[in-house]
Structure 1
Amino acid sequence: MKTILLAAAFILAPVGMACAADINETSPVAAAYDWSGLYAGVDVGYAAGKSNLFIAGAGLGGTDVNAPLDPTGFVGGVHIGVNQEMANRLVLGAEADLAYSNVDRVSTFAGAGALLNTELKWSGSARLRAGYAFDRTLPYITAGVAAAKYEVSVITNGPGGTIPVHDETHLGWTVGAGVDHAFTDKWIASVEYRYADFGKKDLSVPLFGPGTVSNVDLKTHNLRVGLSYKF
């Protein structure tokens, strides 16, 4: 009987050792997503503008004009950027974008018997970004410089027809926040809000002769969704 038990123990010993080794072996852990690298993509969204046309009282009976323009509409464009993820999951980066705009409005030019047509032709920015990675999800903040091509025209019923009075590129700044999500190792979806202040510029053509103080400003609120490819 003892001989049989010793033989069984001798046979089963390697099996037990193998099972123990399997139990003690550490299961491989999936590596966290790495945000570092170059990316590029497209984005679309909606922009609401806040704009005001100011004309001093000279030539208007001493009354200043403050005409709200406020164009709104859709934007769409391209972007390119680069990220660098740190050991503590902080992600720093830079991004540039350029968007074509269908952002416009026709409003009444009160007191002048005419209409004002405004159009944001294009806008772009160059920004820094900073975020914190939750594996494949990256909330971030962003800020930088911004530019926009802005046009204003007066539409009359007389022989003058449409009179362009402003056709300038405005320079300013922008700030915002968003969330990126990598749904594959290469494809990243994003949603972003940005506020931009493009400053104030004098009208290209004075409406009431040389020396009349007249200017127009432009600010926008942008909400965009995007799709990027990470190289």
Structure 2
Amino acid sequence: MKTILLATAFILAPAGVACPADINETLPVASAYDWSGLYAGVHFGYVAGKSNLFIAGSGPGGTDLNSALDPDGFIGGIHVGFNQEMANRFVLGAEADITYNDVDGLTAIPGGTGTLLKSEIKWSGSARLRAGYAFDRTLPYTTAGVAAAKYELTGITGTPSGDILLHDETHVGWTVGAGVEHAFTDKWIARVEYRYSDFGNKELSAGVGLGTVATDVDLKTHDIRAGLSYKF
């Protein structure tokens, strides 16, 4: 009888008792985060601008006027984009943003005329491509594309004649940058990003009696931004 019971137990054991390997196979395996999809969010940051105003023959003693303008300040805006994660963990995407700027500067015109130049970046925006490599929920990336900014220059005279609007134009150029994103939930993604933008140069939009005198004003910016996105 004992022999029969032992033989029966031996036969039934593989069907009723799980070995460690079987237990490991049945445990759920956490899947990697998928970056593919549409997202939108908000961002804010700080901008340091570099600009130079050139007017031929308008400096002291008839020399050329070269006035450095360095507007800086804070920004806030929105962005929307789309990512596609490849099988090799590379992530490609496109993004657009629009930003309200509280970025300005005040500079004295050389030569002791008493006139001040106020420079203001009213808004800026861009349309860019992005490329990165996913480390599960963390995504370092680079970005580059087209950028635009509304730039104004005003002469503050301090006289009854009032201020003089020298420049009020939309500059179009390019931008390049890098950043890192982290998905701290399946839907919410935080980011920090650096961007350099070159908006090119333009002639002054108001002649203010300068006639055919050569004029030129350029604009470049360094941005540090932080943001929060929601993935749909």
Identify the TM-score tier after normalising by the shorter chain. over 0.9
* CA deviation profile, 1:18-67 (whole Å, cap 9, x unmatched): 33356324133211111110000000000000001111115853301111
Equivalence for 2:122: 121
Alpha carbons 1:35, 1:83 under 8 Å: kept: yes
**Residue in 2 aligned with 1:223?**
224
The match for 1:18 is: 16
Using the TM superposition, name which of 73-82 and 15-24 deviates more: 15-24
Would you say 1:75 and 2:81 are equivalent positions?
A: no
103-112 vs 44-53, which moves further: 103-112
* Residue pair 1:49, 1:221 contacting (<8 A) in 2 also: yes
Q: Are 1:154 and 2:155 counterparts? A: yes
Distance 1:37 1:157 in 2: 54
Contact between 1:53 and 1:69, CA under 8 Å: does it hold in 2?
Answer: yes
Q: Which residue of 2 aligns with 1:174?
A: 175
- DSSP 3-state at the match of 2:61: coil
CA contact (8 A) 1:59 1:208 kept: no
What is the aligned-residue RMSD (CA, Å)? 1.7
Matches within 5 A, 1:109-148: 109-111=109-111, 112-148=113-149
CA contact (8 A) 2:129 2:145 kept: yes
Distance 1:172 1:119 in 2: 17
- Contact in 2 for aligned 1:40/1:81 (Cα 8 Å): yes
TM-superposed CA distance for 1:17, in Å, is: 4.0
- Structure 1 runs (4+) deviating above 6 angstroms are none
Aligned residue pairs total 229
Q: TM-score, normalised by structure 2?
A: 0.93
Q: Is the 8 A contact 2:177 2:193 kept in 1?
A: yes
Could you tell me whether the CA contact under 8 Å between 2:183 and 2:189 is conserved in 1? yes
CA distance in 2, matches of 1:19, 1:11: 11
Look up the equivalent residue of 1:18 and give its one-letter code: G
C-alpha separation in 2, matches of 1:206 and 1:110: 19
Which runs of 5 or more residues in structure 2 are unaligned? none
- For 2:123 and 2:90, locate their aligned partners in 1 and report how far apart those are by CA, in whole Å: 32
1:130-183 CA-to-partner distances (Å, cap 9, x unmatched) read 001111111100000000000000001222221110000000000000111111
Deviation at 1:215? 1.5
Give the alignment's TM-score, normalised by structure 1.
0.93
- Cα distance in 1, alignment partners of residues 144 and 200 from structure 2: 16
Counterpart of 1:84, as a letter, is Q
Report the alpha carbon displacement of residue 11 of structure 1 after superposing the two structures with TM: 3.8
CA distance in 2, matches of 1:149, 1:228: 26
Secondary structure at 1:209's aligned position in 2? coil
Write the distance in 2 (CA, Å) between the matches of 1:15 and 1:42.
60
Q: Contact 2:60–2:110 (CA<8 Å) still a contact in 1?
A: no
Q: State the alpha-carbon separation in 1 of the partners of residues 65 and 210 from structure 2.
A: 15
Aligned equivalents of 1:45, 1:109: Cα separation in 2: 29
Task: Tell me: CA distance 1:194–1:226, structure 2 relative to 1, closer, same or farther (3 Å).
Answer: same
- The answer as to 2:189 corresponding to 1:191 is no
Distance 1:208 1:223 in 2: 39
